Amino acid sequence: MPVAKPQALTCFKAYDIRGRLGPELNEGIARRIGRAFAEVLGARRVVLGRDCRASSEILAAAAAEGLMEAGVEVLDLGLSGTEEMYFATSHLGADGGITVTASHNPMEWNGMKMVRAGSAPIGAESGLAAIRALAENGAFAPARAGGRITPAGNTRAAYVERVLSFVDLAALKPLRILVNAGNGAAGPTFDALAEELAAKGSPLVFERLHHEPDGRFPNGIPNPLLPENQPVTARAVVAAGADFGVAWDGDFDRCFLFDHTGAFIPGEYVVGLLSEAFLAKEPGAKIVHDPRVIWNTADVVARAGGRAIASRTGHAFLKQALRDTGAVYGGEMSAHHYFRDFMCCDSGMIPWLLVAELISRRGLPLAEILAERRAAFPSSGEINFRVADVAAAVARVEVAFAAAASDRDETDGLSLAFPDWRFNLRASNTEPLLRLNVETRGDAGLVRRMVARIAALIG
């Protein structure tokens, strides 16, 4: 690789790499990132995967060139999910891993998710800033011999076994499950799981929707968190007579759940469900959660005899919290779920399996299991406000409420609690947005009133 000229790279974000194709992210930039990744980590073997976008194959090839310039053996996963990269990095004893993916971002975007040895997260302080600096200044060490691409081998079979180890297959009852891959990367991996489930005698039956990977996304970008994208899965669940539905984002490190009526299950209640599932398996365990909506999770964990621990929002923080505390599980309301026995990484396949096991054990529909929790702790869901001056807007809300608060927490943004309600207000890491969450103790009307009052203050 010739000596690269300095170049400011705006595709580096707080936790990963994301940018618009062209000036922000192109083959040359991907090559720089691959080279810098190898040099900063001192890597000799790196796992490389990609999602199904046409640009992902091109960018992955460029990143591989940069890695090989640094003498790296690139262990190629091909089309795969981000969590398969996490698994393969540890399973193969590699020095790091990269998935080229834009996940749920629009067509004109792409990006990379990266880990170091042991599938440990790479944040700004643990290598990402250094990778960015080297990729920008281009002061690479002399090229090294020995770089090559080799197939990663059949790591998917080992991955399937690890994922299935989280559930007691004998406890599963006959359930019909609607799965929507959104034409992303999930389809082939799900099929491998379903095939092994059938081989082991599982009574689960699946209905597939938008299952084939197609980087053109003929049915829309796979982002089930958007309300406008949820009806297609909801209708399919009802039409199939399914017990519940699952929809994934593009690289399937997140999954989203729907009950048998087609109702979307907000992520904060899924965190409570999975906390219950793990505490039944491991009494007294620690559970990590993000600080946005916490009362339902805290109540579930306390009732089950566990210990709830709050962490800053973001995958690097949740993963590190699991590593630091030994917590069995960590969850974010944004549908990222992290598992101690899955390298403390997130998975979009483990959660729905655990929910199937929980439904089987409880003998109740998912809607009925959740009805009590949603009534006990209503929440607003995350509401975004685009504002010119984020700090000024937060200050107005703080002045209005802080003096009367019974508890104040600044783990992530501003959280103020009162006897019967609570809110979290935090700035986006990447946009001029304020994100608001309100929760109450059994009063849905209070949720609406407090959202309206805070919204008026934000302006």
Catalytic residues: 103
Residue the block writes with tokens 């579930």? 300
Read off the tokens for 351.
């959660």
Query: Smallest Cα–Cα separation from 116: which of 137, 101, 136, 130?
Result: 130
Distances (CA, A) of 46 to 114, 266, 446: 10, 36, 51
Query: Smallest Cα–Cα separation from 328: which of 282, 367, 292, 390?
Result: 282
Nearby residues of 422 by Cβ (< 8 Å), 6 or more positions away:
294, 295, 415, 416, 438, 439, 440
Query: How are beta strands 96-100 and 45-50 bridged, if at all?
Result: parallel
Question: Residue 387 — φ and ψ, nearest 5°?
Answer: -130, 155
Answer whether 310's CB lies under 8 Å from 297's CB.
no
Euclidean distance between CA atoms 439 and 381, whole angstroms: 9
- CA geometry: angle 423, 426, 430, nearest 5 deg: 155
Nearby residues of 162 by Cβ (< 8 Å), 6 or more positions away:
87, 342
Answer whether 390's CB lies under 8 Å from 432's CB.
yes
